[in-house]
Amino acid sequence: MTAPDNNSNTDLKTVRLKLPNGYRALVAVSDSDPDNFTARDWSKCLRDPALLTSEPDRVIKSEKYASVLVKTVNIAQTQLTVIVKYRRRPLTFTNLIRSLMPSTAIRNFRTALKLKRCNIPVVAPIAAIEKKMYRFFTTESIFITRYLPKSRDLYWFLRDNTLSPGADSLQLKKNLARQLAQILADLHNNRLWHRDAKAQNFLVRENPADELKITLVDLDGIKHYRLASSRSQRLRPLAKLAATVIWHPNIYATDYLRTLKNYCTLTGLNGSRTGGMFRRIRRQAIATRLTTMANAAVDSDEKPER
């Protein structure tokens, strides 16, 4: 059973599906990529959504209630490599209240659509699947996006491609700083901000023209501004990003400052106050990094010995 979705006014058309065993889905049936699938194709492919988390090609992350996998799915005689983000909700009162809102997969799918409308580089969403108990309580959600070959997260890309100082390394960092500033500025100019703008949530990939492009891959932290003029929210993504690369041996203060200046230019922030904002971001980045390290140490101490 299918129904057109209200988000079909973008270049990525979507359809709602009712699947067996209490699952329902929001799927992409056409986009700018060469593969276009029908609702019928997706109904056949997703006839058992539980299979999406079995026998993956590779496990990227595995936790008690969540996992991120690389999976090859067969759809309309096409093998499609995708990223599968799976979440399971235990039966608790808090999760019962959260079921009043759309599942994480549905929210991320809609966020991706919004970012595409705003021309913000994001991995193309393919499907959002959720399972309901008693037609109300969300027990599982699955978000599927395209897999980007020849890509690495920002931190590891910087580590492997800025080992030696020189003109090439400097030009590379200038290019990445410009793109990062553009993404964060475009988010702000569309009344959005990224609460978890760490380096691991940005993929650096090569496009067919051998140009490096940065793409957003984790949308959980993208939220609407409550107050568009809130400077703390405007600077927080820059501080979070800095915190994840602050002790990177090949990143210097000028690299952070270059990104901030580009961001200020693109968002209209007062350029004469760049120095004060830079110091504030630096303090927040150091505090965030130290807190992360302390929490990791505590978690390590609390793990039982085997």
CA dihedral (243, 245, 248, 253) in degrees, to 10, reads -70
CA 270, distance to chain mean position in Å, is 29
Residue 86 pLDDT > 50, yes or no? yes
End-of-domain residue from the set 100, 124, 146: 146
pLDDT for the residue numbered 234: 76
Confidence of residue 32 (pLDDT cuts 50, 70, 90): very low
CATH for 163: 1.10.510.10
Indicate the pTM of the whole model.
0.84
178 and 246 part of one domain: yes
Structure tokens at 197: 């703008």
Q: Sheet harboring 212-216: ordered strands across?
A: 151-153, 202-206, 212-216
Report the alpha-carbon distance of residue 118 to residue 224 in Å, rounded: 14
CATH for 91: 3.30.200
Q: How many domains does the chain have?
A: 2
60 and 160 part of one domain: no
Kindly state the DSSP code that residue 124 receives in the 8-state scheme. P
127 and 62 part of one domain: yes
- Asked if residues 148 and 203 have their Cβ atoms less than 8 Å apart, the reply is yes
| Structural domain for 123, as ranges | 2-146
7 and 125 part of one domain: yes
207 and 297 part of one domain: yes
End-of-domain residue from the set 146, 161, 196: 146
Q: What is each CA distance from 220 to 104, 180, 216, 224, 300, in whole angstroms? A: 8, 18, 11, 12, 26
Residue 41 pLDDT > 80, yes or no? yes
132 and 27 part of one domain: yes
Report the alpha-carbon distance of residue 120 to residue 216 in Å, rounded: 8
End-of-domain residue from the set 146, 170, 200: 146
- E strand or H helix that includes residue 127: strand 125-133
pLDDT for the residue numbered 77: 85
Q: Length of the chain, please? A: 306
269 and 183 part of one domain: yes
Report the alpha-carbon distance of residue 101 to residue 107 in Å, rounded: 9
Please compute the mean of the pLDDT values over residues 87-113 and round it to a whole number.
84
Sign of CA dihedral 37, 59, 108, 259: negative
123 and 42 part of one domain: yes
- Asked if residues 106 and 87 have their Cβ atoms less than 8 Å apart, the reply is no
Confidence of residue 71 (pLDDT cuts 50, 70, 90): very high
Contact partners, residue 291, CB within 8 Å, separation at least 6:
none
Confidence of residue 129 (pLDDT cuts 50, 70, 90): very high
174 and 287 part of one domain: yes
CA 71, distance to chain mean position in Å, is 18
Confidence of residue 88 (pLDDT cuts 50, 70, 90): confident
CA 142, distance to chain mean position in Å, is 14
97 and 214 part of one domain: no
Number of Cα atoms under 13 Å in the Cβ half of residue 157? 19
66 and 163 part of one domain: no
Report the alpha-carbon distance of residue 249 to residue 230 in Å, rounded: 32
Residue 8 pLDDT > 50, yes or no? no
Report the alpha-carbon distance of residue 21 to residue 55 in Å, rounded: 21
pLDDT for the residue numbered 27: 92
264 and 247 part of one domain: yes
Other residues' Cβ atoms within 10 Å of the Cβ of residue 233: 17
